[in-house]
Amino acid sequence: MTNQAQLLPGTLDLLVLKAVSLGPLHGYGVLLRIEQISGRALLIEQGALYPALFRLVRQGLLTASWGTSQNNRRAKFYELTSAGRKRLDEEAAGWNRLAAAVASALAALPEEI
């Protein structure tokens, strides 16, 4: 487990939007897609995922519609709306700014200050 990252609050919604931006997914599929695109480093808990999906639908960033999953069961499929695409771009840019700033801070050496 040591090579897995602890997810910070605020990053789950970003990752859900990113996963769904790659193509429509049912709930469990979102979880698997995030694991896949993070190289198995981010394991999302179902207990956090479903509230996030509900929240993103309510905010108009995802739509949910009934469909049939690969193993022939009815499931809700999630798709990105245009507002969701815009939010994804904004959140990804914000994340990149934060990551660059923290990386810069963590790299500082005593002799440089």
Which ranges of 22-64 would DSSP assign to H, the alpha helix? 27-37, 46-58
For residue 50 the two structure tokens come to 């479903």
Q: Is 68 in the site for a copy of itself (CB under 8 A)?
A: no
Q: Is 51 in the site for a copy of itself (CB under 8 A)?
A: no
Question: Which of 13, 15, 53, 84 is in the footprint of a copy of itself by CB under 8 A?
Answer: 15
Per-residue contact string for residues 71-100; x = within reach of a copy of itself by CB under 8 A: ---------------------x-xxxxxxx
Which of 28, 41, 59, 67 lies at the binding interface for a copy of itself (CB under 8 A)?
41
Cα–Cα–Cα angle for 53, 73, 22, nearest 5°? Answer: 45
Going by the DSSP 8-state scheme, the letter that residue 95 receives in this structure is: H
Find all residues with CB under 8 Å of 55, minimum gap 6, and list them. 13
Residues of this chain that bind a copy of itself (CB under 8 A): 3-11, 14-15, 18-19, 21-23, 33-34, 36-39, 41-42, 92, 94-106, 108-110, 113
